[in-house]
Structures are given as structure tokens and as C-alpha cells.
Amino acid sequence: MNNADLQSRLEAAPVVPLIQAEDPRVAIETANALVAGGLTVLEVVLRTEAALECLHHVASSVSEAIVGAGTVLSEAQARKSLDAGAAFIVSPGLYVPVVEAAQQGGVDLFPGVATAGEAQLGWNLGLRALKFFPAGQAGGVPMLKALGAVFRDVKFMPTGGIDAGNLADYLGVPSVLACGGSWLTPADAIAAGNYDRVTALATEAVSIARGARGTG
């Protein structure tokens, strides 16, 4: 996988679902359900004890997907994620050692920013793609428009507070590369083994995205 592959996938389906699992088998089933719905850029979040194991199994078993690590808080987690097969790294905040680990590993990084000051720091570190988090609480679409007007060569991936109801609004902002979200992998559906619901939510998100981007 290279940067162009990730870019082209996100252009086709600009939505990145979050996978949180305690069991690699559940993570794989969830990933397959998302891929079946048309979403092939997946973020396995490091929020469980088995997260790195889940990441490894999804990355090695779901060949149709580009799999990254999310909620990466430290340099050590970043390096372990790369060892587990992460093709990109997502962080809730902007922490320079994580940036450096991703750059040294040759993978894309989406560090979280919520203010103009954090975005300016990221820009001066050479980053041209930033996660906007938590999107809903940090100003939503109006804030993204303001940041995009200033940081004109930066693309943003808003995450937090996004769902099918407002996805089109976010994707309508020119500076938005893609949106991330956990609404696509509801815990109750996964606990019940209802992966058809996950696929249906992914299919709906792809349809909304194509409508918002005029590619449908």
C-alpha cells in the first residue's frame, strides 16, 4: 500500500469506520461486513487489551481493506501498530514523537487537532492531512470552513459526533478528505452478531458520500 492507494480509496468512499474489538474473530467479521458495504479504509482503535492483535489479524486477513491504527497515544503504540501491520496511524491529538514514528515508518498520519494553533503546529511539522477531533464539540462544519480558509493546502478528517444525519454536511466542506466515525459499527449489533446491520450502515454511508460529492 502506498499513499496514492489510500488517497484513491478515500476519494471513492470518503468514510473511515472505527473497529473496536476484544476478539480478533469479531474484528475480522466486522471488517468483512464493512468491506461488503463498500468501505475499505478501516481504523482499528487501540482501546482494548487485544487491539494490536485485532489489528494484526484484520490487516493480514482482510486483503480488500487498508487497515490503520486509531487512538494511538504514544510513540511506543505507534511503533507497535506499525509492527502489527498498520498502513496508517490516527491519533486523538498532535504529539510530535507519534508524528516522527509515522514519518520514519513511511505511513500516513492523521493527528487530531481542535484549534488553529494545533493546526498551525501540524502544518509546520510538514503535515498536510489532519484529523479534526472532536468535530462536533470543536465547532463542526463552521470551524472546518474557517480552518480550511487559512490552511488552504491541508485536508481534514473530522471525527466525533458524525453520523448518517450530518455526514453529507461535513463531506460538503471542500477541505474535508474523509470522515471517521463509530456509528457504522454499533456495539449492540456486533455483540448480537448482526453483521448485516453493519453492512447496511456502510452501504448507506457510501450512498450519502457519493451524493455529497456528486459521484453517485
68 half-sphere exposure, CB direction, 13 A CA radius: 27
Catalytic residue among 29, 43, 80, 118: 43
Q: How far is CA 104 from CA 2, 27, 79, 161, 216, in A?
A: 14, 28, 10, 32, 37
- Is residue 11 flagged as an active site residue? no
User: 73: which DSSP letter?
Assistant: -
- Is 115 in contact with 93 (CB distance < 8 Å)? no
Exposed e or buried b for every residue in 81-107, given b needs 16+ CB within 10 A?
Answer: bbebbbbbbbbbebbeebbebbeebeb
- Is 27 in contact with 58 (CB distance < 8 Å)? yes
142 burial level (CB within 10 Å; 0-12, 13-18, 19+) = exposed
- Is residue 43 flagged as an active site residue? yes
Catalytic residue among 131, 145, 155, 204: 131
Q: Which three cell numbers stand for residue 74?
A: 504514544
Q: Which residues are known catalytic residues?
A: 43, 131
